[in-house]
Amino acid sequence: MKSAAIGPEGRIATANGIEDCHPFELWVAGCLRDGSVTFHGDDVVLGEKAAARFAPGVDRQKKMAVLGVVERDAEPMRAMPWTSAALLAGIEGREWIALSAKDARIGNAKEMSPRQIRLFIPLDLVVYEAIKELPDGRIELVSLPVADGRVVAEGRPILTLPFKKIRA
């Protein structure tokens, strides 16, 4: 995202041609209002508050990384055309999972050229260490229901992406 600003009706207005009422854009706008997201060029970087909406981990039976997302955020995550994910280390002194869309143009996009977008989700070191032991392969995004104000550990898969580890 080259630039972003909250527009009318709380929508996010961007210069990258993404439809301004797209579920992912609305989700980012909510995080922006909370001050829990920053933009670095075409990258959306989550702060700790927004990152708490995700539960990264490992599915030992499937031998793959898993990225849980609370149920109410599942639709915005599924709505973006993610094409891959990566485990990153040593970027700005942190570890991350990054989701990437090679072409984030949606609907009536005005841009002629594809626009890449990446979503950076910070990890704690324990989770990073567990995930880095896995072979490259795939990551599964899972919708996690909330019951009695607590996130339920088992959810339903919503998306599977190619996944690799990258060291800075």
| Residues ≥6 apart with Cβ < 8 Å to 33 | 6, 10
Domain count, the chain: 1
What's the confidence (pLDDT) of residue 133? 93
User: For the whole model, what pTM was predicted?
Assistant: 0.82
- Domain residues for the domain of 38 are 4-167
What's the confidence (pLDDT) of residue 34? 78
| Residues ≥6 apart with Cβ < 8 Å to 93 | none
What's the confidence (pLDDT) of residue 115? 78
What's the confidence (pLDDT) of residue 5? 45
What's the confidence (pLDDT) of residue 20? 56
What's the confidence (pLDDT) of residue 109? 58
Q: How far is CA 128 from the centre of its chain?
A: 16
Rounded average pLDDT per 10-residue block, the chain, 168 residues = 42 49 83 85 90 91 92 91 95 94 71 82 94 94 83 81 87
Q: Residue 71's closest CA among 84, 87, 55, 85?
A: 55
Residue 130, CA distances (Å) to 56, 65, 91, 104, 133 in order: 10, 9, 18, 30, 6
